[in-house]
Amino acid sequence: MSPEERRPPAQPAIAAPPEGSVADLFKAALPDVEMTAVQGALDVLLLVDGKDAHKVLETAKHNPSLAFDFLRNLSGVDYEAEGFEVVYHLYSYKHRHNVTVRAKLPREDPRIQSATDIWRAADWHERECRDMFGIVFEGHPNLVPILLPEDMLDHYPLRKDNPLAPLEEWQGEALGPEMGRAGHIPPGSGFDVEPSAEGE
Amino acid sequence: MAIDPETQVEREFETQDLFVNIGPQHPATHGVFRMVIEVDGEVVRDVVPHIGYMHRGGEKLSEHMDYRQAIGYQDRTEYLSQFNAELCYVLAVEKLAGLAPPERAEYIRIILTELNRVSSHFMFLGAFGTDLGVFGTSFTYAFREREHILDLFEEVSGDRLMYAYFRPGGVAWDVPRDFKERVEWVCKQALIGADDMDKLLTDNEIFIARTRNIGKLSIEDAIDYGVTGPMLRASGMKFDLRRDEPYSIYDRFDFDIPVGTNGDCYDRYLVRLAEIRESIRIVRQAVAQMPDEGPILPERMPRMLRPAAGEVYMRCEDPRGEYGLYIVSKGATQPYRCRIRSPSFCNLSALKHMTVGHFVADAVTILGATDIVLCSVDR
């Protein structure tokens, strides 16, 4: 096969999943829940509201035609003005099919019901998601920081309004004179700190 | 063996539970990992793992780098199976950008990835023996073969550990002229090493006594905890992403999936030992099929990668389990979100479930058989 033939076709931004995909099974199992199905690069994406997420996930696990017994991955995404999303990647060892459930949350006070009662795998993932985005998982048995320090409860590194430290800060400009002259910053470069009182 | 804590304690004596802190600087924790164990005599009642000592914010940093710069972070995340992590990353970017690598590059990648799996499993065999008290012997045997593989990687990529050799669309530069002969020699040595480890550990009475029926995990629990890879296969689940969701060119090779029956530490060891031999089988087939000449990157490569808006969750079979990358693109030169689903993180979350009820000394065995990479746990 030549490389041209094996090249995957360019994807349109939004495409409906094909007939008979896992999205149809979800719609049959949950007729009263509003969800949008999109065909992603590998899996079918289901866009749902944060309030319905737990119901959708519970059905995904326990409905015999879906039987998603494996929570592959749980991650948060910060879409700035559009709010947060908690993304669940699910897999079924029984039917060997995939689905991605994207639960939409508001920007202010993002809360979602915990999935720890569905998969125990969700425990550490949700703690990490709280660390990084400040999303509160209601009903989680032990929602304490996992990767971040235990007292870091109001600082969410992966939020988009939390920029990486600027280079100058790392090089020592922000240390201030009391911390001493930082590193090997050449004087007069605009990055050096206040001249010391002794004069140099 | 699993012991019910209730039956072991003599009721008439007043006893007190003791907290034992292992780590963060402890040779048995394979890195900077701390667990607080609550013991009743010798029996473990509770385990509280503390992770995050090596959290470097790799996901945040990846969002501020263009797609090719972030390849290096994959090496530093999975520092024992770097090519596996790099492969997952470049495949994810290729899926987003619509790139297809040339044949020769695909084979180079698969050969290196599978040899990396072998070297990673050798690392496990050596370290696991040391955890159990085979002090030094298993380590030196395993490292003899690992060194041959690292030498080959150095010849190819220029570095012993942080390769950054794969690129979206192919590999960075061509392999040395004697690549095939070198790979064949390394394969031969690796099989000798696997046989040596087999003779050293598999029938060793002490080794069996320390690992049989220790840290048992049923299939249902393993799936529920998100345990993947050799640990899941040791529990008896015949599942391998290379076979069940083939990516790259894995559908062209003939190989078996070793599975265990008990789901204990001994089976985890056996599965990994068998996987070394299966990986060598794949490498040999790939060497035979690999074209001698040909490009290693697509002819028309954009100078800056700017994938269209979209998202992909790419997953690959890492030596430790499912290595997943969830990349969201908004059409910029940097990923909007790059989430790493690390197999060590998920496998480690089942530690408490496996350890409670065993002796303290077995906690080290169980942690060793989980085969975690702390850089990958903390990211």
pLDDT surpasses 50 at A200: no
Neighbouring-strand partners of residue A90: A71, A99
Neighbouring-strand partners of residue B39: B18, B44
| Structural domains of chain B, with CATH | 58-378 (1.10.645.10)
In the structure encoding, which two tokens stand for residue A94, read together? 């029984």
Give dist(CA B80, CA B76) in Å, integer. 9
**Alpha-helical regions (H) of A33-89:** 50-62
| pLDDT the model gives residue A187 | 52
A59-97 residues labelled b (16+ CB within 10 A) or e (exposed): bbbeeeebbbbbbbbbbbbbbeeeebbbbbbbbbeeeeb
The one-letter amino acid code at B104 reads R
> What is the pLDDT of chain B when averaged over all its residues?
87
pLDDT per residue over A59-68, tens digit each? 888 888 888 9
Cβ atoms of B82 and B75 within 8 Å: the answer is yes
Strand-pair category, A70-78 with A84-92: antiparallel
- The band of A25, judged by pLDDT with boundaries at 50, 70 and 90, is confident
Neighbouring-strand partners of residue B35: B22, B49
Tell me the mean pLDDT in the region B215-219: 89
**Alpha-helical regions (H) of chain B:** 5-8, 58-63, 71-77, 82-97, 103-132, 137-157, 179-197, 205-211, 219-224, 230-234, 241-244, 265-289, 343-348, 351-355, 360-370, 374-378
In the structure encoding, which two tokens stand for residue B10, read together? 């003599």
The ranges assigned to domains in chain A are 10-143
Q: Which chain A residue shows the shortest CA-CA distance from B96?
A: A41
- The band of A178, judged by pLDDT with boundaries at 50, 70 and 90, is very low
B55 touches chain A (CB under 8 A): yes
**Which chain A residues have a beta carbon less than 8 Å from that of B226?**
70-72, 119-121
**Which chain B residues have a beta carbon less than 8 Å from that of A4?**
100
pLDDT surpasses 60 at B52: yes
pLDDT per residue over B135-188, tens digit each? 778 888 888 888 999 999 999 998 888 898 998 888 988 888 889 999 999 999
In the structure encoding, which two tokens stand for residue A66, read together? 């879906």
B312 min Cα distance to partner chain A (Å) = 6
Tell me the mean pLDDT in the region B51-67: 86
B244 touches chain A (CB under 8 A): yes
Residue of B224, B244, B326 with shortest CB distance to A121: B224
Tell me the mean pLDDT in the region B197-204: 87
Of B344, B298, B305, which is closest to residue B327 (Cα–Cα)?
B305
Cβ atoms of B59 and B74 within 8 Å: the answer is no
CA terminus-to-terminus distance, chain A: 71
Task: Answer whether A145 sits within 8 Å of B225, measured CB to CB.
Answer: no
A69 min Cα distance to partner chain B (Å) = 7
Give dist(CA A46, CA A69) in Å, integer. 17
Tell me the mean pLDDT in the region B196-220: 88
Helix (H/G/I), strand (E/B), else coil: B49: strand
In the structure encoding, which two tokens stand for residue A67, read together? 């039987």
Give dist(CA A79, CA A107) in Å, integer. 9
pLDDT per residue over B231-288, tens digit each? 999 998 889 999 888 888 898 999 999 999 888 999 999 999 999 999 999 999 999 9
Cβ atoms of B215 and B358 within 8 Å: the answer is yes
Of A45, A46, A19, A20, which is closest to residue A34 (Cα–Cα)?
A46
B241 vs A112, B245, B349, B350, CA distance in Å?
Answer: 31, 5, 21, 21
pLDDT surpasses 80 at B11: no
pLDDT per residue over B286-303, tens digit each? 999 988 888 888 888 877
| pLDDT the model gives residue A171 | 55
pLDDT surpasses 50 at B211: yes
CA terminus-to-terminus distance, chain B: 34
- The band of B225, judged by pLDDT with boundaries at 50, 70 and 90, is very high
Give percent of chain B with pLDDT exceeding 90: 32
| pLDDT the model gives residue B99 | 85
Model confidence, pTM: 0.85
| pLDDT the model gives residue A184 | 46
**Which chain A residues have a beta carbon less than 8 Å from that of B57?**
157
Residue partners of A17: CB distance under 8 A and separation at least 6: A23, A37, A38, A39, A44
Cβ atoms of B166 and B136 within 8 Å: the answer is no
Of B53, B43, B4, which is closest to residue B20 (Cα–Cα)?
B43
Task: Answer whether A75 sits within 8 Å of B96, measured CB to CB.
Answer: no
A85 touches chain B (CB under 8 A): no
CA dihedral A19, A25, A27, A32 (to 10 degrees): 170
A134-140, long-range: CB within 8 Å, 24+ apart, which pairs? A134/A110, A134/A159, A135/A76, A135/A84, A135/A86, A135/A105, A135/A110, A135/A111, A136/A109, A136/A110, A136/A111, A136/A112, A137/A111, A137/A112, A137/A113, A138/A111, A138/A112, A138/A113, A138/A114, A139/A113, A139/A114, A140/A114, A140/A116
* Among the ranges given (A3-12, A15-24, A82-91, A103-112), the one the predictor scored with the smallest mean pLDDT: A3-12
B108 min Cα distance to partner chain A (Å) = 16
| pLDDT the model gives residue B10 | 57
pLDDT per residue over A96-125, tens digit each? 888 999 999 998 888 999 999 999 999 999
pLDDT surpasses 50 at A181: no
pLDDT surpasses 90 at B89: yes
Tell me the mean pLDDT in the region B327-354: 89
Give dist(CA B312, CA B325) in Å, integer. 8
* Polymer length of chain A: 200
In the structure encoding, which two tokens stand for residue B112, read together? 């290196």
| pLDDT the model gives residue A175 | 53
pLDDT surpasses 70 at B4: no
**Which chain B residues have a beta carbon less than 8 Å from that of A6?**
100
Positions of E strands within A31-184: 36-39, 44-49, 70-78, 84-92, 97-105, 111-113, 136-138
Tell me the mean pLDDT in the region B21-25: 83
| pLDDT the model gives residue A179 | 47
CATH number of the domain at A10-143, out of 1.10.3720.10, 3.40.640.10, 3.30.565.10, 3.30.460.80?
Answer: 3.30.460.80
**Which strands, in side-by-side order, build the sheet including B43-50?**
B18-22, B34-40, B43-50
